[in-house]
Structure 1
Amino acid sequence: MPEGDTVWLTAHRLNQALAGRPVTLFDLRVPALATTDLRGQTVTEVIARGKHLLTRFGNDLTLHSHLRMDGSWYLSRPGQRPRRHPEHMIRALVGNTDWTATGFRVHDLRIVTRAGESELVGHLGPDLLGPDWDAARAVANLRRDADRSIGEALLDQTNLAGVGNMYKCEVLFLERTNPWTPVREVGDLEAIAATSYRVLRANRDHPEQSTTGYVGRGREHWVYERGGDTCLRCRTRIRRAEQGEPPRARPTYWCPGCQPRAEAVD
């Protein structure tokens, strides 16, 4: 699933192309919404809320979409064929005289009123990249389930919105915290929240995601997808294990030297 910074950048680019312009093309290719027509309406803004995308229109309606694991939005000029994906994967088209936004395999398409947005995103915790970011509330949310592992707690979007599996692994490495540590045993949850905020903010304006400061292939991450390689900090071999209960289990990477824990998973 895309990280919060990827969703934020998608919303930012869609907003630049669509906001303030009347809609000339509107086509939702899902049965429940197939007859919805917002042509003539003006897009007021496109925003990200955690990993959700909200496209707001001047008539107080909002188009909600979610990328999940395989969804994406692409921008092209009118009349140009969108790249990469075949026609049958298109689920949404929103366009104006300058740009066409094509949603390939986007999920959870809904049309709601502005007030109804809370039914779709009201359960989310503070958004790391949103105007509502509140570190103290995020830490309080994490503490609600003190026996839960910090790795699973960070992925719970009701605690704080935006951290995905990659940032989970990288933030915990940077804070020298074993992913299986119960929240009650984490010494500095405030630092984990602050580091999550810092790394997502640092990467939100470009598609490259780096936590090391390098963007070269194989050098951009400290531990993520580096299982079996040596730690860039201490040269210990990086470990990989599944964390969480199926079907929500995620591959987790950590350095036993930098992130020790007596009962670490074997």
Structure 2
Amino acid sequence: MPEGDTVYQAAQRLHAALAGHTLTRSDLRVPKFATADLTGRTVLDVTARGKHLLTRIEGGLTLHSHLRMDGSWRIYGPDERWRGGPGHQIRAILGNTERTAVGYRLPVLELLRTTDEEKAVGHLGPDLLGPDWDPERALNNLLAAPERPLGEALLDQRNLAGIGNVFKSEVCFILGVTPWLPIGELSEETAARLPALSKKLLEANRHRSDRTTTGRDLTGQRLFVYGRAPRPCLRCGTPVRRGEQGDGSRSRPTYWCPSCQQGPTP
């Protein structure tokens, strides 16, 4: 599931394949930008901003994409077969003489002026894996609405950028509270741990292909609670539970241990 760590990895792969090379192929398969031709322009860099990808291109242009739940960018060699999905799921193709980047199932794809990037990502809070990381600002953002459930506050990219369903559930488990606990009810000490813990987990996984929050590298033991229901909690053996959490616009799968975590539940 694309979260800040996997988007960071995607940016690294795209940068390695495209940056410094002139585009020999360009195909944006969304109606608004279908006639845009980027061939002959050099890709300057590719960077992640939270869960967003910014591909900066010569001439003051930026291709902005977002993976959301199941989008992906795949890199292929000249003679390599494309295996990311059927052709009708392709939304973007950027290629040079050595590599071709293919974007599948991209729910967000737009071409904008580099000077207008803030229109796409300016609403984001401090990036957990970015140079703008500011733990004090992130904590102040989270605590600005004390009645809001912790899980919802962590998922709100305006507070801090990069956390998704997996890290939300894992952060709450490590802190020993449920995702439905109003964030204002956290103890001062627990609240102070939030930014550093969130950053630590994402940083530990930004170069890993198999995400882990437990420190273990065995199948079925890499995550404390996410995806484990109804299997036993790795810490206490109580069956992990699964519920839905959302702000009314969208429900998201949420996992917790009813013994290790204190607070309200569905």
TM-score above 0.5, yes or no: yes
Corresponding residue number in structure 2 for 1:230: 232
Corresponding residue number in structure 2 for 1:138: 138
Contact 2:64 / 2:110 at 8 angstroms: preserved in 1?
yes
The within-5 A match list for 1:26-65 is 26-65=26-65
How far the C-alpha of 1:177 sits from its partner, in A, is 1.8
SS at match of 1:145: coil
Corresponding residue number in structure 1 for 2:99: 99
Across the two proteins, how many residue pairs are aligned to each other? 264
SS at match of 2:224: coil
How far the C-alpha of 1:246 sits from its partner, in A, is 4.2
SS at match of 1:75: strand
Worse overlay, 178-187 or 229-238: 229-238
Read off the aligned partner of 1:115 and give its amino acid letter. T
Deviations, residues 42-81 of structure 1 (Å, cap 9, x unaligned)? 1110011111110001211000111111211000012433
List structure 1 segments (4+ residues) > 6 angstroms apart after TM superposition. none
Contact 2:224 / 2:234 at 8 angstroms: preserved in 1?
yes
**What is the percent sequence identity of the aligned residues?**
53
Q: Distance in 2 between matches of 1:122 and 1:79?
A: 39
Worse overlay, 226-235 or 64-73: 226-235
Unaligned runs of 5+ in 2: none
Q: Distance in 2 between matches of 1:73 and 1:116?
A: 23
How far the C-alpha of 1:18 sits from its partner, in A, is 0.5
Corresponding residue number in structure 2 for 1:68: 68
Contact 2:45 / 2:55 at 8 angstroms: preserved in 1?
yes
Q: Distance in 2 between matches of 1:56 and 1:22?
A: 12
Contact 1:26 / 1:94 at 8 angstroms: preserved in 2?
yes
Q: TM-score, normalised by structure 2?
A: 0.95
The within-5 A match list for 1:1-266 is 2-187=2-187, 188-261=190-263, 264-266=264-266
Contact 1:243 / 1:250 at 8 angstroms: preserved in 2?
yes
Q: Distance in 2 between matches of 1:109 and 1:39?
A: 18
What is the CA RMSD across the aligned residues, in angstroms?
Answer: 1.3
Deviations, residues 97-118 of structure 1 (Å, cap 9, x unaligned)? 1100000111221111111000
Q: Distance in 1 between matches of 2:108 and 2:236?
A: 43
Contact 2:84 / 2:104 at 8 angstroms: preserved in 1?
no
Q: Distance in 2 between matches of 1:161 and 1:218?
A: 27
Q: Distance in 1 between matches of 2:122 and 2:247?
A: 25
How far the C-alpha of 1:27 sits from its partner, in A, is 0.7
Contact 1:76 / 1:100 at 8 angstroms: preserved in 2?
yes
Contact 1:136 / 1:190 at 8 angstroms: preserved in 2?
no
